[in-house]
């Protein structure tokens, strides 16, 4: 026991912070945690969960069209934004309550206040001061809004979850996964959707075949994607919002949404004043054990700007608490992290891109499949699925797997296990297919592309 109020105090009750608090308490530590907004963090409150609920909602009209080919008919359904909004808020409130209950059940004291570091062991909670032996900063990230004239008229993904009225038209600025996902959501829910991206192709950092496939399918669904396009200014008029592009042309829309990246939410916490080293973008610098430049202060999750993924933050929390409170040094493995983009159609990916594989291994063998899913043969949609395997020729190991198509995220989760285990192409080939499924393509591709 120490003279401090807590053995560990966590600033930020998102996925990583809550897991760290719960696990440290299970190891016998006295733990407190603070959160200035809703417990659950970005993923639960204003990210993964509400976003995927919106993706489900936006796909209903397309599913209804497909149903006609299977003998179903009737009135075309109409969309009610207030109903979706209310049901989403109800579900988020339920999850928020569950997270609070988890903390309570694990004897973690929750302070629903903003935490600011006064010194290395003291946290100010809006006038209340507590002390802790160790402090963990897990405050996540926040949308980055660029310095564009009129940017105050634009929204980020945060506000997109709480619109007062459903728009008729939207301009989305950005080419990453958040921009792509919301373009699919708005478009699927009947909004005239334009996506602007300043580079030559969306989804930078993903495999080139994924990027091309997603862009092509989105265009077929009606999203107006304009690449090599940047915004000069935004103006509010009586008729709506007007976006002036750098080439001098203009666009008008009801809503302008920016999805141009996220930055670590580390400002105004007193960290720099304590000498906690940070990168230029505000990310907290940490070592392999999540320790900052101040010996008793640690950090993990999106505010360290490593892999900004909920499961990664949770795994980091498990490693941190095992190391610090269970005398079990646990290194974190960041290789071959599977992930998904809930675009329309969705993306599932694990391992290296083709470009990365060629750079690392030199000679690689590529297998690809492009086909119309069975569902659409009667449903009538011309949406296609793309699958790709990247194999190191020398070892026969599969080093990258990529998919664009229905259920991509669900399929890649299982494939991720095989990649983590070092599976070879021969082992993929020896695996019996499940027919008829899309996933069987991953074990039936025999002929490499030239």
* Residue 435: active-site member: yes
Asked whether the beta carbons of 45 and 51 are under 8 A apart, the reply is no
3-state secondary structure of 156: coil
Question: Is the pTM higher than 0.85?
Answer: yes
3-state secondary structure of 124: strand
3-state secondary structure of 355: helix
Q: Both tokens of residue 201?
A: 């192709």
62-109, pLDDT tens digit by residue? 999 999 999 999 888 899 999 999 999 999 999 999 999 999 999 999
Looking at residue 87, what is its pLDDT?
Answer: 98
Looking at residue 7, what is its pLDDT?
Answer: 98
What percent of the chain has a predicted confidence (pLDDT) above 70? Answer: 100
Looking at residue 44, what is its pLDDT?
Answer: 93
Helices H, strands E: what count in the chain? 13, 21
User: Which residue has 């792509």 as its token pair?
Assistant: 180
Write out the H or E segment, with its range, that includes residue 256. strand 255-258
Asked whether the beta carbons of 357 and 392 are under 8 A apart, the reply is yes
Active-site position among 59, 121, 153, 435:
435
pLDDT above 60 (res 295): yes
| Mean pLDDT score of the chain | 97
188-226, pLDDT tens digit by residue? 999 999 999 999 999 999 999 999 999 999 999 999 999
Residue 152: is it exposed, middle or buried by C-beta count within 10 angstroms (0-12/13-18/19+)?
exposed
pLDDT above 90 (res 323): yes
pLDDT above 80 (res 394): yes
Give me the domains of the chain, ranges plus CATH numbers.
6-142+263-325 (3.50.50.60), 151-259 (3.50.50.60), 339-443 (3.30.390.30)
Report the C-alpha gap between 44 and 38 in whole angstroms: 9
Looking at residue 433, what is its pLDDT?
Answer: 98
């Amino acid at each position: 026991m120490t003279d401090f109020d807590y053995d560990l105090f966590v600033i930020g009750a998102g996925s990583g912070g809550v897991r760290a608090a719960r696990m440290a308490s299970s190891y016998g530590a006295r733990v407190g945690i603070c959160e200035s907004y809703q417990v659950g963090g970005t993923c639960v409150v204003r990210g993964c969960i509400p976003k995927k609920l919106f993706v489900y909602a936006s796909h209903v009209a397309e599913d209804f069209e497909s149903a006609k080919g299977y003998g179903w008919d009737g009135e075309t359904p109409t969309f009610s934004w207030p109903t979706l909004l209310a049901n989403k808020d109800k579900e988020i409130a339920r999850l928020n309550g569950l997270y609070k209950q988890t903390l309570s059940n694990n004897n973690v004291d929750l302070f629903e206040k903003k935490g600011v570091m006064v010194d290395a062991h003291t946290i100010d909670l809006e006038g209340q001061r507590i002390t802790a032996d160790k402090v963990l900063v897990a405050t996540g990230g926040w949308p980055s809004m660029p310095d564009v004239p009129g940017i105050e008229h634009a929204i980020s993904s945060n506000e997109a979850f709480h619109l007062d009225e459903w728009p008729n038209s939207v301009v989305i600025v950005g080419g990453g996964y958040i921009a792509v996902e919301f373009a699919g959501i708005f478009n699927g829910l009947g909004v005239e959707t334009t996506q602007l991206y300043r580079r030559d192709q969306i989804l930078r950092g993903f495999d080139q075949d994924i990027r091309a496939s997603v862009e092509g399918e989105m265009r077929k669904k009606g999203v107006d994607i304009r690449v090599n396009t940047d915004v000069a200014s935004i103006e509010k008029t009586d008729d709506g919002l007007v976006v002036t592009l750098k080439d001098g042309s203009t666009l008008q829309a009801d809503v302008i949404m920016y999805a141009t990246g996220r930055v670590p939410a580390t400002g105004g916490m007193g960290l720099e004043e304590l000498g906690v080293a940070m990168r230029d973008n505000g990310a907290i610098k940490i070592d392999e054990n999540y320790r900052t430049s101040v010996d008793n202060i640690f950090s993990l999750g999106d505010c360290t700007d490593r892999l900004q993924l909920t499961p990664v933050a949770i795994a980091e929390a498990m490693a941190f608490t095992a190391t610090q409170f269970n005398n079990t040094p646990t290194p974190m493995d960041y290789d071959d992290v599977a992930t998904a983009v809930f675009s329309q159609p969705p993306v599932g990916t694990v391992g290296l891109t083709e470009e990365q594989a060629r750079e690392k291994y030199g000679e690689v063998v590529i297998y690809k499949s492009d086909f119309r899913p069975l569902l659409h043969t009667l449903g009538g949609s011309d949406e296609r699925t793309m699958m790709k395997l990247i194999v190191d020729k020398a070892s026969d190991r599969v080093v990258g797997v990529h998919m664009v198509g229905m259920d991509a995220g669900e399929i890649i989760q299982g494939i991720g296990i095989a990649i983590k285990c070092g599976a070879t192409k021969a082992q993929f080939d020896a695996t019996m297919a499940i027919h008829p499924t899309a996933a069987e393509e991953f074990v039936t591709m025999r002929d490499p592309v030239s």
